[in-house]
Amino acid sequence: MQQPSEELLSLLRSDPPTVVLTGAGISSESGLATFRGPGGHWEGRDPMSLATPQAFDAEPTTVWRFYDWRRTQAAAAGPNPAHRAIVDLESKLSSLTLVTQNVDGLHERAGTKNVVRLHGSLWTLRCTACGTEQKDLRPRLDPLPPECGCGGMLRPGVVWFGESLPRDAMQEAQNAARLCRLMLVVGTSSLVYPAASIPQFAKSAGAFLVEVNPERTPLTPLVDEYYDGPAGEILPGFVSGLA
């Protein structure tokens, strides 16, 4: 296991405003399939072809069943050591903002408090007509997309390919990135924009940029430190170094 550098530990001990940006890789360590990874297909379908507004318009029941499956998988999974290490970091630092591209709710279940959700949540339903959102924490959904009180059809409250990120969430993430002195980029491919631009905001503002990922990404050449391995093995070392 890679140990944190003295430079990183010294920075952490100075209690810097910190942003942690997470992607699907941290969830995969809890056993959840990623869209781009092995095991991501569902009933022979590419998830990327189902996670679009066009797919929901054409096959609402199929897309609904796919997200029902995703909810059951997320409900059965549990936070892993990487999720818990972020909770520990949040408890030790005066300011930590977690910006996540994940929709599974594992960060919240682990106990992280300050969470910015760029891609929405599996546990939210949104009306296609009036836009009203409601929480629904059931592991299983109804067999067919239900109706909102206004008569519109409910859909998963996530951001699909081709849709804009929530303006407020993106603004909050960018502001945190501009103000932070340390950013940890954990388990993300750094391929999906505009989320992939957030580390660049931090870097241009002078933040110390750390990437934790088993594989190199387009971001790797830009970071100050790169830790190549599972987040569940590496992040706990960042916390224990503060003891």
Residue 19 burial by Cβ neighbours in a 10 Å radius (0-12, 13-18, 19+): buried
- R_g of the chain, CA atoms, integer Å: 18
Token representation of residue 96: 């930590």
Sheet holding 96-100, edge to edge: 115-117, 96-100, 18-22, 182-186, 208-212, 225-227
Ramachandran angles phi, psi of 186, nearest 5°: -125, 120
26, 105 Cβ separation under 8 angstroms:
no
The token duo for 186 is: 């954990």
Q: Is 107 a catalytic residue?
A: no
Structure tokens at 69: 């499956």
Q: What is the 3-state secondary structure (H, E, C) of 70-118?
A: HHHHHHHCCCCHHHHHHHHHHHHCCCEEEEECCCCCHHHHHCCCCEEEC
Structure tokens at 14: 């100075």
Residue 144: HSE in the Cβ half-sphere, 13 Å Cα cutoff: 4
The 8-class DSSP code of residue 34 comes to: P
* Residues with catalytic function: 119
